[in-house]
Structure 1
Amino acid sequence: MVGAKAAKLAMAETERSAEALDPAADNNYIAALARGLAVMRSFAGQRNQLTMAEIAKLVSLPRATVRRCLITLSALGYIDSNGKYYRLTPQVLTLSQSYFSSNPLPRVAQPYIEQVSEAVGESCSVSVLTGDEVIYVARSTRKRAASVHRDVGQNLPAFCTSMGRVLLAHMEPEALDAYFKRVTLKKFTHETVTDEATLRGLLDQVRRREFCLIDGELEHNLRAVAVPVRDQSGKVVAAAHISTEASRTPKEKMRNEFLPVLRSAVSQMRPLLLG
């Protein structure tokens, strides 16, 4: 079950990568670069090795195009092959390391979310908005925390996650309008809110309350609470959240016990995040 859910999320991520290959919006768009990145992203989730045909299907590109991408990525050291199957190499880690070494947010956040996780006994994460999704940039886990494993670097939809709604709630109105025009509000569970007007109302509520509590919208039995992370200037630069299983953690406990701990942690981060 866990593998199937992870694979489903990974497939959705790859589909979004393929959809992003249209260069029509900008004459400066380098389609070849986008295709190469889409090929790399096709290995998301539990797809640790793929054939050329499988990659071509995942990214919706001709096999000849995929072949050229694979040859280039292999020459650069990012992909290896045994003749039939292709896999990513450890060289890809240098790309993420460039981000982590140049951005203070993960480094600042990590000790604080570890304290939160220790205090409440649940997983705690910090995420940022990238494109139309949220991506984990720091995480402290507990084995019992959720039925789907999350890692730093994983992307999730913004509209149906607590940290995503926190970040969407603090978007400029024009940017939020553009977001709703682009995204498909997909139903992940029977609880997922997919009506735009309803979502906008929920985002207004999140903006006023300065937190978001979501129950079972991305995954059944997954409950999460999130708050904005602000830099010294007051700008929202990320969201911090605690996730748990709804069957063992009532909403009242999330609000009355988890939320104050989370808010305390982000308030301590703020002076350390330069605006």
Structure 2
Amino acid sequence: MRAFTTEEQDLTLSDLSKRVGLSRATVRRCLLTLQALGYVQSSGHFFRLSPQVLTLAQAYLSSSLLPRVAQPFLERTSDALGQSCSVSVLYGTEVIYVARSARRRLGSINRDVGTHLPAYCTSMGRVLLAYLPEEELETFFRGAELFPLTPFTIHDEAGLRRALDGVRRDGFCMVDQEMEVDLRSLAVPVHNAAGRVVAALHVSTQASRTSLEELMNKGKAALREAAAGMRPLLIGP
């Protein structure tokens, strides 16, 4: 289902086969199953996701404690900073937005709940990677494709490991135009009541509008305050 995007909502069997790297026969069987379940619609040779897909997201959002706890803190922090704020979790080599308060669209990517981005070049991703057990971090490096999205992207393992060391030392992560030119962000870890890092909280802004110093001075304290407020409410192992 992730082969469908906002820009390309209608795809043929051949399109999907190429995107997911499976044979046309296998993709066809998957599509027929998804269609029978109501998650995919077809028109001629084209397939698209149906509104029924939203029930999957709603099931997660209504059953998971994190989005419900995070949302009011995001709203207050976003209001205070005048910038978009998000909470994300790590899934494989990517981060997935599970809660968001948006003030304006930044960059070329439409970010909303459910958006997934590479972990290695985002502030939230680096926060979450920094607190992984070493064995899980090794698994990440074996599966991740590190490549330069901008001239500023750290895209080698040694450089990324140094950046993660800095996150552990400082307790926050600043990423400046590494995923997209003119986009910078600041993130802090979100701990649960047991002290485990379960998510990352971040604020993003345009580099042309907000200096690194301004983002650091205003953003770090606000994010840490919000993360501290969430902590006792996130009951779990």
TM-score by length of 2: 0.96
Aligned to 2:127: 166
Aligned to 2:209: 248
The secondary structure found in structure 1 opposite 2:159 is helix
CA contact (8 A) 2:107 2:180 kept: no
CA contact (8 A) 1:127 1:163 kept: yes
Aligned to 2:80: 119
CA contact (8 A) 2:121 2:153 kept: yes
CA contact (8 A) 1:146 1:243 kept: no
Q: Considering fraction of residues, name the structure with more helix.
A: 1
- Once structures 1 and 2 are overlaid, which stretch shifts more, 144-153 or 111-120? 144-153
Comparing both chains, which one has the higher relative contact order based on Cα–Cα distances under 8 Å and sequence gaps of 6 or more? 2
Deviation at 1:45, TM superposition (A): 3.5
Aligned to 1:191: 152
Deviations 1:11-62 (A, max 9, x none): xxxxxxxxxxxxxxxxxxxxxxxxxxxxx11113422111111111211222
Q: State the alpha-carbon separation in 1 of the partners of residues 65 and 183 from structure 2.
A: 29
Q: How does 1:14-33 map to 2 (within 5 A)?
A: none
Q: State the alpha-carbon separation in 2 of the partners of residues 64 and 210 from structure 1.
A: 49
The match for 1:99 among 55, 60, 75 is: 60
The secondary structure found in structure 2 opposite 1:53 is helix
Q: State the alpha-carbon separation in 2 of the partners of residues 86 and 148 from structure 1.
A: 23
Gaps in structure 1 of 5+ consecutive residues = 1-39
- The sequence identity of aligned pairs, in percent, is 56
Matched, 1:62 2:23: yes
Q: How does 1:1-275 map to 2 (within 5 A)?
A: 40-143=1-104, 145-275=106-236
Q: State the alpha-carbon separation in 1 of the partners of residues 105 and 18 from structure 2.
A: 35
Deviation at 1:147, TM superposition (A): 4.2
CA contact (8 A) 2:95 2:116 kept: yes
The secondary structure found in structure 2 opposite 1:129 is strand
The secondary structure found in structure 1 opposite 2:198 is strand
Structure 1: 4+ residue segments shifted above 3 A: 144-147
| Structure-2 change in CA distance of 1:60 and 1:147 (3 Å) | closer
TM-score by length of 1: 0.83
Matched residue pairs, number? 236
